[in-house]
Chains A and B, each alone.
Chain A
Amino acid sequence: MAEKRYKKLKTAAELQRLMQWHYTRIRLPRLGRPLAWVTSGAPVEILRAMGVIAVYPENYGALCGARREAVSLCEAAEAQGYSPDLCSYARTSLGSVFQSERAPMGGLPQPDLLIACNNICGTVIKWYEAVAAHYEVPLFILDTPFIHGAFEPHALAYVVAQLEAMIRFVERTTGRRLSMKRLERTVRLANETVQLWSEIRALCKARPSPLNAPDLFVNMAPIVVLRGTEGAVRFYRHLKAEVEMRVKNGIGAIPKEKYRLLWDNIAIWHHLYRFYNYFVDYDACFVVDTYTGGWSQEIPEGQSELMEGIATAYATVFLNQSLEYRSHLMERLIREYDVDGFVMHCNRSCKPYSLGQYAIRRRITEGTGVPGLIIESDMCDARAFAAEAVKTRIQAFMETLAERK
């Protein structure tokens, strides 16, 4: 088994239990608690504080992708007129809505309300509009203006006004009220989760790195789906302890770490282990990535207004910022993690993440001298993956890195 080349984390079983519990719990009788579908970048703290259960179609899409069940769901969406060029999370999700009998776990439970935030992309707006039309449920869109330059004060005011509107919207649609006390508590828990996750990622600065990209991808699920819950905090404490032990004992994620790499973009879920094993064959470990760092924004507590803190944290996530910002961020990661090369997944599904990668690659290589490889594929739609061609390109890239060593 290919997976054997990975040192399995002891916390893996706990992760599985936690996620299974999440997917079970959302199907239990909810005693009147409303259920919302939310995007990965939505301010879930507000929903949790109001007792609304949040489920994540993007995480569900990743799960279908990893189980290699996304393609048939994509086809179900395509049969309804959705273009095969659309984001495969959206197609997988819509496919599971239209043909739940084909979907793992029968799809997600029906939503009572929908919350989409466009800080990751414009796709989620259209996708959630389609879901809202299908289930005839209310949809709230939190609009976070894209930041080409600076996060302007009028943009902050706009996002704050919408957060307040979002609270009224949830109150109106669910009949629940927001208690500021509970919100503060949820924010604290969310911050703690985010902190732990950032610390775990930072531990990978060690040589050899205790984790490889697939570890990060698999273990990011709770930071997205259960951020702001005690279960997530507990899990990340355990994970952190284990990763610390690995660092202390000089245990690496892969048998022999010769090259340290950075990963950009969403995982190739349908080839998760197999794909990263192509690199393990060259003793290359992905010690850091940009995707799982997307949930590292803490909400400033105490100093300013809480709503301003939430607005700032969510409006300034890295996918909502310019390519220059992203280049700088990656250059910084390359230095901090002492990286030899970077690999960019040019993901057909995700235009905001992928269209600027050529510009970023040029900028980074100019700035750091570190070479980068761009591989075109798709995160969920395995039809867009050409294994042999990909392997050849990886081989050529690894040869370049070898020459530089």
Chain B
Amino acid sequence: MYCVVQVREPLLGDQIQWDWNSLAHPCKDWQTRYPTKRAFGYLCTYSPIELLHAAGFVPVRLVQGSGQVALANAHLPSFSCALARMVTERLLSGALDCLSGLLVVHTCDTMQCVADIWHMADPPFPLVTFSLPTVLSNVGARDYLLAELHRLAAVLESDFGAPVTEDALRTSIALYNEQRRLLATLYEHRRAFTVEQFWTLVLSGMVTPVEEHNVLLQSVLQSVEEKKEAVRQGPAVILVGAILDDPTIPVIVHELGGQVVWDDLCTGSRYFDVLVDETQEPFGALADRYLKRVPCPTKHDDANPRAEHLLSLVHRTGAQGVVFVLPKFCEPHAFDYVLLSKALANEGVPHLWIETDLTAPIGQLRTRIQAFIELLRGS
């Protein structure tokens, strides 16, 4: 990605030690940190992590990260997104060998292909696929999804010896709901933290056990009350896109006098939007959460609420502009960009379009963000 901001000093007192590299390299030190815990990789917010957790695993999210692509070139053409290439690289280089399994959910064409490519590359752990419906509002989608969730549970039991009981699933759902609530609260209090602290708190939750992350969030949110929230000025923007696993762009926005007030990102608000109904039968409740969410660009919804959702975020947060952070070669996001940017233009909301790849020049990025913030200042 752009450049990795490496934060090696303790960020929040002695509460969290965070090395940004550990986000892309969850296996580094896994054995020492969690000698008794088994990690299960996944990529997308449509992954039923509650099921993995209930089966006794720690769901660990695989993100893009930065680095060289070498081995992956023999497996993927140059026009594959950086996420696909980087995860392939780490998988082939053995950097993900601590995983007990890897779950790939059907979202885009690229994920569909890499699931099979990874499978055919003989990883040292089993790969499990989950064919999520593409049209979640369809007749029959819920029944299908429910059956697919039960199939996944059966695979966890048969191939991993890790059965999922209903009680365990309820507990896992409650834990992840708690994490979602805490993240939502954190979003409301983001001004109490530096940009890096904020993203550390959000993203670390995707590669650490949820129990640990919940405790961390609880304690930092408690001290928020005592802390004075910084009053920030300058144009407010919303980030929209796929994966942000590196705080470079929000850091630049803030350095240049803007502020990120919310986002529609897979590694951001889409991770914690909508709770699972804890009063319902747990499998059905998991299915329903996917049906209720504002769809990601790989999903179709007849009502197509993405543009409306973005406009309502703009209005609710008082943002003056939107920054799209889109991975090169990502079809679903590239298509949606056109519809979303038109909807914004109709409402007079300016936007900036940033395309990210493994080699985006940081200097140019700064200049463009600066020009955009100046534009927002003037408006």
Contact = CB atoms under 8 A, between A and B. Distances in A.
Interface stretch (A79-87, A189-197, A287-295): A79-87
B117 A351 contact: no
Interface stretch (A155-163, A202-210, A221-229): A155-163
A339 B302 CA distance: 46
Contacts of A356: 113, 116-117, 120
A161 B109 contact: no
Contacts of A160: 140
B362 interface: no
B143 A122 contact: no
A355 B339 contact: no
Contact of A152 (B116, B151, B336): B151
Given A86-B335, A145-B131, A376-B77, A352 B113 contact: yes
A123 B116 contact: no
Nearest to A122: B109
Interface stretch (B11-19, B170-178, B217-225, B326-334): B326-334
A263 interface: no
A141 B338 contact: no
Interface stretch (A1-9, A44-52, A126-134): A126-134
B334 A83 contact: yes
Most chain B CB atoms below 10 A, which of A139, A165, A355: A355
Interface residues of B, number: 54
Interface in B297-326: 297-298, 300, 302, 304
B157 to A, nearest CB: 16
B77 A122 contact: no
A348 B338 contact: no
Interface string B124-148: 0000010111110011110110011
Nearest to B335: A126
B331 A87 contact: yes
Contacts of B133: 143, 145, 158
Given A85-B328, A127-B335, A158 B75 contact: no
Given A126-B336, A143-B133, A351 B331 contact: yes
Contacts of A333: none
A142 to B, nearest CB: 9
Contact of B75 (A82, A86, A352, A359): A359
Nearest to A148: B129
Contacts of A376: 77-78
A121 B300 contact: no
A133 B335 CA distance: 12
B117 A146 contact: no
Nearest to A84: B334
A184 B298 CA distance: 34
Given A129-B304, A351-B110, A352-B112, A81 B143 contact: no
A126 B329 contact: no
Contacts of A147: 131
B335 A154 contact: no
A165 B202 CA distance: 41
A368 interface: no
Contacts of A162: 138-140
Interface string B95-137: 0000000000010111011111101110000000101111100
A354 B79 CA distance: 10
8 contacts: A143-B134, A146-B112, A148-B116, A152-B151, A161-B138, A322-B116, A351-B80, A355-B114
Interface of A: 80-83, 85-87, 118, 121-123, 125-127, 129-130, 133, 139, 141, 143, 145-149, 152, 154-155, 157-158, 160-162, 164-165, 322-324, 346, 348, 351-352, 354-359, 362-363, 376
